[in-house]
Amino acid sequence: MTVRVGVLGATGAVGQRLIQLLDPHPEFEIAALTASDASVGETYKDAAKWRVNSPIPEDVAGLEVRATDPDSVPDDVGLIFSSLPSSVGAEVEPEFCEAGYTVSSNSSNARMDEDVPLIIPEVNADHVDLLEVQRDERGWDGALLKNPNCSTITMVPPLAALDREFDLTDVRVSTLQAVSGAGYSGVTSMEIIDNAIPHIGGEEQKMESESRKLLGSFDGAEVQLNEMDVAASCNRIPTLDGHLENVWADTAEDISAADAEAAMESVTGIDLPSSPEKLITVFEEPDRPQPRLDRNVEDGMGVAVGGFRETTDGVQFNCLAHNTMRGAAGASVLNGELLNKRGYL
Amino acid sequence: MTVRVGVLGATGAVGQRLIQLLDPHPEFEIAALTASDASVGETYKDAAKWRVNSPIPEDVAGLEVRATDPDSVPDDVGLIFSSLPSSVGAEVEPEFCEAGYTVSSNSSNARMDEDVPLIIPEVNADHVDLLEVQRDERGWDGALLKNPNCSTITMVPPLAALDREFDLTDVRVSTLQAVSGAGYSGVTSMEIIDNAIPHIGGEEQKMESESRKLLGSFDGAEVQLNEMDVAASCNRIPTLDGHLENVWADTAEDISAADAEAAMESVTGIDLPSSPEKLITVFEEPDRPQPRLDRNVEDGMGVAVGGFRETTDGVQFNCLAHNTMRGAAGASVLNGELLNKRGYL
Amino acid sequence: MTVRVGVLGATGAVGQRLIQLLDPHPEFEIAALTASDASVGETYKDAAKWRVNSPIPEDVAGLEVRATDPDSVPDDVGLIFSSLPSSVGAEVEPEFCEAGYTVSSNSSNARMDEDVPLIIPEVNADHVDLLEVQRDERGWDGALLKNPNCSTITMVPPLAALDREFDLTDVRVSTLQAVSGAGYSGVTSMEIIDNAIPHIGGEEQKMESESRKLLGSFDGAEVQLNEMDVAASCNRIPTLDGHLENVWADTAEDISAADAEAAMESVTGIDLPSSPEKLITVFEEPDRPQPRLDRNVEDGMGVAVGGFRETTDGVQFNCLAHNTMRGAAGASVLNGELLNKRGYL
Amino acid sequence: MTVRVGVLGATGAVGQRLIQLLDPHPEFEIAALTASDASVGETYKDAAKWRVNSPIPEDVAGLEVRATDPDSVPDDVGLIFSSLPSSVGAEVEPEFCEAGYTVSSNSSNARMDEDVPLIIPEVNADHVDLLEVQRDERGWDGALLKNPNCSTITMVPPLAALDREFDLTDVRVSTLQAVSGAGYSGVTSMEIIDNAIPHIGGEEQKMESESRKLLGSFDGAEVQLNEMDVAASCNRIPTLDGHLENVWADTAEDISAADAEAAMESVTGIDLPSSPEKLITVFEEPDRPQPRLDRNVEDGMGVAVGGFRETTDGVQFNCLAHNTMRGAAGASVLNGELLNKRGYL
């Protein structure tokens, strides 16, 4: 049974990636697209200045753009993907949930709310049942599920592999993030050519809190945050796609570089259509992964790691993922697939 | 009294910066330039494809390039600046020292040798007297003094300010380094456009060992390395000049972000011609310093810092310096000035 | 006698360059700064996110930003520099002229109006007396003078040198323009990294018409456009500053590459404070001028040329100028100096 | 029948693209790879630092690299692809031809030799029979066929479409060329970041002469060069792949922008495996084609055009092709397919 889906914020950078992934999706069928008021009534082709590196899907190009409110979306839509600016998401997503829609959201609002599951299916799929708590507390017919920030998604799968076996105590992470992470117009060329910007507003905090929730434990009632200490330093650099991160992971158990690699190698994907066969690809060359060369590993849904070195208190390594695919649109689609599999749609 | 100086490796990227700094220098006068065999006998103008952003000094342009060996340099040269590839430096620098020349070197060879002073004058000028030990042990008439690697120089002045007051225990540093650090032809455009490279061969080790020597203590006989634990992760990014670094500094004493800033603000320059009035410039804006905007702080001889945040075990911050000025040519010139002031010439 | 001046649109990219040039100016004194309504009442420092590569002038930083209308500017202001979006300029500049202000404008509106002088002082200073016609026709107490578009300014000085001696018949010009030409936020990083854009709206037409007006003849009553045929093709590339242009200049008289170079070399500056000693700098190296290396020739107020080759019908060559200095802010200041010298203030 | 093929210079940038295209080729089978002496005896995987954006073909990875001389290549190799530096090609290619090998070469040597066919199959396939003349004159058992320079290939298909109908008289072309055109290490990052270089040694001359040969007429004995006058200006810009060109095409017959577009639209591919269905793709958006967005049109084997404007003497337009695919490796493969179809293997 195909699920009819809607996309909120369909004309933005992540919205376009969502269309690219959903158009040929085996379980989902695009039924409704929304955008800001200025575009309502236009065809999607006219409203979206399509910039993705594959042609705009023909059957989507002619769809009429709808307003971003529950009344404008057909009742038979079974799942909503949301990629709205967080201030809009904070206002609109609860309205959709109250109206009975289930929302898989990439927007940053509400990610740390106690009754909102924050999910990377390969890492903490079990947290999805926090939705039961959510429904009880909020009285919604619908439901709200979040994926983390793109920079968080890049480091958490490898951290999860380490935490499972070696018990993380402290994490330090420095990011080299691509400009697409700020949206199509988020970083001007004057800001970034021959430059780097050592700060991305709110990003450090997101990485620090979201990672502890993702690696936390869910007991059926609440998520206990992981007790590890996380400190992040986020930088924007002149790359188009792919967030590269330097990580120091201190562990309670003894660990060598080889141990860390072996832990990564042992990670497997899960049985969801968009989960890659190999969630983590280990590079042996010390100068890999690199954004331009490796961001499309596993069709953009994998995480690439390399550069393992033992430190006094643990290991250091580098990780990389495609920020608008695995880090955003692909993450939301995966969460939608999880909801479908677990019977939440 | 003006000191007549020679430059080994005068046609390279750092060599050209040395010429730019030495030509108008109040204490030094350029007397001899050497390069590799292919250029010997040419005028400097012909041998160097001059690429520095100021015109080639007229009185230097016509100098004849000499071979890089002690016999080809006039006896009245009182100080040699060396910016040779480390393999060449390892062979040639001792020959100059044996022949009686005093060498202020930027090359990476011998930096960690026990009887070779590794100096940033504003940080550990007292180590210069290790030269007495060196002369005793090696029987040289000349002497060999080193400045650290460009990425080390960027972080050590701020670390020194913290160590003095708060006692550093652990340092984690992630670098975003400019392509000029690899020399004019060191990084191809195909490697770095729309990309980043998470490894620079040997650079991590240099930062880890050199910083401990610079912040070590000299008792008149030997340098005791600082006991702090340092782990570095080095990245090349598509910027032209200016190394930006994210630092986590854990301290034995309690420290706040404001404490750290105050420690930086209190640092003063020293009485050498090339030492800036303000060694460390503190930026309050969270997204500064940035390479393109701030690499020329204090005419390229300062270190810019910003982004202070308190962490569980200390503070994190960002620092930036111009890698071919403060980080290389300017560092060697400063060390030459120190030698002059201390009567070693 | 110092002239008190105002700047309309003082917070934009060109506005900031105007401040940079006017603050230390020998003839002008900054008396009033205007910006859009959102900034009115703020200090200039707060309103302008200062991005120029020299510190914000201290005496300007504290000035209060005024509204962009004649009533908000003091009566003793003798000259207005305007760098407004053309749609705003079209509306506001005539109001200032009616109110008695003399305006030296960089905005693109009205440049081709028959009674508006379009001036590069070193090329067609005599056109300034078209202001007499303007005053008669418009009944203004003030006056409106324009400088051309940045891409036009780059090629017209060399073209003028050729036209004078060899009579231009056809010009073909292809531009490689820097992102700063579109304003600070005009080109996003997603648009231009690893890319080029072969079209800049309206720019081709500006180059084609403005160059013919600049090289036209003024008989005291009107400007006859130069009869040469001009066709332009404009490209945006990933450079920060400096417009590079490939020009084919066909001439009625026989011309060689050496003739063309000699014509350029013979050009002299004029007696205005901001006119460079050498208006045109000729490079002999075939791969010069280059934007990053040569955009600051003559402190950014010169034009660099090179790559001369004889063609079947004339010559081809390359030219380069700093688009926000010689091509915009500096051009307006020069025109202000011309107005002052000719007694129009 | 599959033809066994060899690749000379297989480890270079174009050599790797050749491997990428030949590995899955329906008519060709890779049998021998050569490189410079330093790599002889190594596996291809070790010798080539593989940098193409698809994995190294498994069956090629283990092949042993051979010396670049006829004796080291098996006799059953029926076709040689050559992508050698031109100085090496000039020496080695004739040796292969004398030894009986047929060579489809991308190297720039000998392209203008009177008895060497210079071919773009969709444009002048009939010139291939110049090989009969070549064999007569040189007494070779083998044969030497060339494809043009990458920048020439980009503009000639659209020029051919215009010349056929409207008779070209003058062509002016300005190029914006990607760094990959200079080979993997051809352009350093220090040269090109925030910069452009208005000269590529020899490139202007290649475009001017090769285009006249390609659009010349072959009467069975010799190629008469097209009489059009061509002048080129070549620039390197900071893009990775894809040469963008601004063209002015003056014609003997009257032509409008719509005429030119229609002429382009009417071009069809030809019946060779690597010839795209649509040789020329016309873009209606005035700011297209752009290198990053459009270089992969028709899997990198098409030419994209746009920006048509009528001029006084003809039309101007922009064209773009992938320089290492359609402009180099793909061009050589296409020529190999032509040789196969015409029975020259």
CB contact (8 A) between residue A244 and residue B235: yes
- How many angstroms separate the CA of residue D311 from the nearest CA in chain C? 7
pLDDT of residue B342: 96
- How many angstroms separate the CA of residue A179 from the nearest CA in chain B? 10
The confidence band for C163, taking pLDDT boundaries of 50, 70 and 90, is very high
CA distances from D187 to B37, B48, B192, C71, D240 (A): 25, 18, 11, 56, 11
SS3 A305: strand
The token pair at A212 is 């502890």
H helix and E strand count, chain D: 12, 14
Instruction: Report phi then psi at B250, rounded to 5.
Output: -90, 140
Query: What chains are in contact with B, requiring at least 3 Cβ pairs below 8 Å?
Result: A, C, D
Residues of chain C in contact with residue A196, where contact means CB-CB under 8 angstroms, are none
Return the active site residues of C: 150, 243
Asked if residue A162 lies in contact with residue A203, where contact means CB atoms within 8 angstroms, the answer is no
Please give the Cα distance from A187 to A206 (Å, whole number): 20
pLDDT of residue B51: 84
Mutation target vs D (from B17, B184, B190; most D CBs, 10 A cutoff): B190
Contacts of A65 by beta carbon, 8 Å cutoff, 6+ apart: A10, A11, A33, A34, A35, A39, A40, A41, A42, A43, A44, A47
Please give the Cα distance from A27 to A4 (Å, whole number): 9
The confidence band for D54, taking pLDDT boundaries of 50, 70 and 90, is confident
- How many angstroms separate the CA of residue D185 from the nearest CA in chain B? 5
* High-pLDDT (> 70) share of chain A, %: 100
Please give the Cα distance from D251 to B250 (Å, whole number): 73
Maximal CA-CA distance, chain B: 60
* DSSP bridge partners of A250: A170, A314
pLDDT of residue C269: 80
Please give the Cα distance from D81 to D146 (Å, whole number): 10
Q: What is the model's pTM?
A: 0.96
Nearest CB to C240; choose among A187, A193, A240: A193
Quote the ipTM score. Answer: 0.95
Mean of the pLDDT values across residues C328-345? 97
CA distances from C194 to A172, B235, B237 (A): 31, 20, 15
Residues of chain C contacting A, Cβ within 8 Å: 13, 51, 179-180, 184-194, 238-240
Asked if residue C317 lies in contact with residue C305, where contact means CB atoms within 8 angstroms, the answer is yes
Please give the Cα distance from B160 to B123 (Å, whole number): 7
Determine the residue of chain B that is closest to C193 in CA distance. B194
Nearest CB to C190; choose among A184, A191, A193: A184
Residues of chain A in contact with residue C51, where contact means CB-CB under 8 angstroms, are 190
Query: What chains are in contact with C, requiring at least 3 Cβ pairs below 8 Å?
Result: A, B, D
Nearest CB to C176; choose among D176, D286, D318: D176
Would strands A79-82 and A65-67 be described as parallel, antiparallel, or unpaired? Answer: unpaired
Indicate the length of chain B as a whole number. 345
SS3 A198: coil
The token pair at A144 is 């709200």
Indicate the class that CATH gives domain A150-322.
Answer: alpha beta
Domains of chain C: which residue ranges?
Answer: 3-149+328-341, 150-322
Nearest CB to D238; choose among C198, C238, C311: C238
Lay out the sheet containing D65-67: strands in order across.
D65-67, D28-35, D3-8, D79-82, D102-105, D143-146
Report CA torsion sign: D33, D39, D42, D46: negative
Q: Say if residue A54's pLDDT is above 90.
A: no
CA distances from D33 to B159, B246, D58, D65, D329 (A): 54, 46, 14, 5, 15
- Tens digit of pLDDT for each residue in D291-331? 999 999 999 999 999 999 999 999 999 999 999 999 999 99
Which residue among the candidates A97, A127, A150, A319 is catalytic per the annotation? A150
Asked if residue D201 lies in contact with residue D149, where contact means CB atoms within 8 angstroms, the answer is no
Q: What is the mean pLDDT of chain D?
A: 96
Query: What chains are in contact with D, requiring at least 3 Cβ pairs below 8 Å?
Result: A, B, C
The confidence band for C345, taking pLDDT boundaries of 50, 70 and 90, is very high
Contacts of B188 by beta carbon, 8 Å cutoff, 6+ apart: D184, D185, D186, D187, D188, D189
Exposure string for B300-319, b = 16+ CB within 10 A, e = fewer:
bbbbbbbbbbbbebbbbbbb
Question: For chain D, how far is it from start to end, CA to CA, in angstroms?
Answer: 11
pLDDT of residue C69: 95
Nearest CB to A193; choose among D53, D194, D293: D194
- How many angstroms separate the CA of residue D230 from the nearest CA in chain A? 35
* High-pLDDT (> 90) share of chain C, %: 96
Eight-state DSSP code of residue C118: B
CB contact (8 A) between residue B248 and residue A240: no
The confidence band for D17, taking pLDDT boundaries of 50, 70 and 90, is very high
Q: Using alpha carbons, select from C94, C109, C102 the residue that is nearest to residue C148.
A: C109
Please give the Cα distance from D175 to D17 (Å, whole number): 23
Determine the residue of chain C that is closest to A188 in CA distance. C188
The confidence band for D52, taking pLDDT boundaries of 50, 70 and 90, is confident
Strand locations in chain A (E): 3-8, 28-35, 65-67, 79-82, 102-105, 143-146, 168-177, 217-218, 223-224, 229-236, 243-251, 280-282, 303-310, 314-321
- Tens digit of pLDDT for each residue in C169-228? 999 999 999 999 999 899 999 999 999 999 999 999 999 999 999 999 999 999 999 999
Indicate the class that CATH gives domain A3-149+328-341.
Answer: alpha beta
Please give the Cα distance from C178 to B281 (Å, whole number): 31
The token pair at A338 is 């999880």
Indicate the length of chain A as a whole number. 345
* DSSP bridge partners of A65: A33
The enclosing H or E element of D231 equals strand D229-236
Mean of the pLDDT values across residues A12-39? 95
Please give the Cα distance from C331 to C106 (Å, whole number): 8
pLDDT of residue C268: 85
pLDDT of residue C15: 95
**CB count in 10 Å sphere of residue A104:** 29
CB contact (8 A) between residue D240 and residue B192: no
Nearest CB to B233; choose among A196, A292, A316: A316
- Tens digit of pLDDT for each residue in D121-178? 999 999 999 999 999 999 999 999 999 999 999 999 999 999 999 999 999 999 999 9
- Tens digit of pLDDT for each residue in C233-280? 999 999 999 999 999 999 999 999 999 999 999 998 899 999 999 999
Lay out the sheet containing A303-310: strands in order across.
A229-236, A168-177, A243-251, A314-321, A303-310, A280-282
Question: For chain B, how far is it from start to end, CA to CA, in angstroms?
Answer: 11
Question: For chain A, how far is it from start to end, CA to CA, in angstroms?
Answer: 11
Determine the residue of chain C that is closest to A182 in CA distance. C190
Report DSSP letters for D138-174, one per residue.
H--SSEEEE---HHHHHHHHHHHHHHHHH-EEEEEEE
- Tens digit of pLDDT for each residue in C45-67? 999 988 887 889 999 999 999 99
Would strands C314-321 and C243-251 be described as parallel, antiparallel, or unpaired? Answer: antiparallel
The token pair at D110 is 């000998």
* High-pLDDT (> 70) share of chain D, %: 100
CB contact (8 A) between residue B231 and residue A311: yes
Residues of chain D in contact with residue C168, where contact means CB-CB under 8 angstroms, are none
Please give the Cα distance from C286 to D201 (Å, whole number): 9
Q: Which amino acid is at B321?
A: A
The enclosing H or E element of C179 equals none
Q: What is the number of alpha carbons within 13 Å of residue B181 lying toward its C-beta? A: 30
CB contact (8 A) between residue A229 and residue B204: no
Mutation target vs A (from C17, C188, C324; most A CBs, 10 A cutoff): C188
Cis preceding linkage at C289, omega within 30: yes
What helix, strand, coil percent values describe chain A, rounded to 5? 35, 25, 40
Mean of the pLDDT values across residues A242-254? 98
Indicate the length of chain D as a whole number. 345
Q: Say if residue C117's pLDDT is above 90.
A: yes
pLDDT in tens, chain B (345 residues): 799 999 999 999 899 999 999 999 999 999 999 999 999 999 999 999 888 878 899 999 999 999 999 999 999 999 999 999 999 999 999 999 999 999 999 999 999 999 999 999 999 999 999 999 999 999 999 999 999 999 999 999 999 999 999 999 999 999 999 999 999 899 999 999 999 999 999 999 999 999 999 999 999 999 999 999 999 999 999 999 999 999 999 999 999 999 999 999 999 889 999 999 999 999 999 999 999 999 999 999 999 999 999 999 999 999 999 999 999 999 999 999 999 999 999
Q: Using alpha carbons, select from A212, A202, A203, A205 the residue that is nearest to residue A123.
A: A212
pLDDT of residue A49: 85
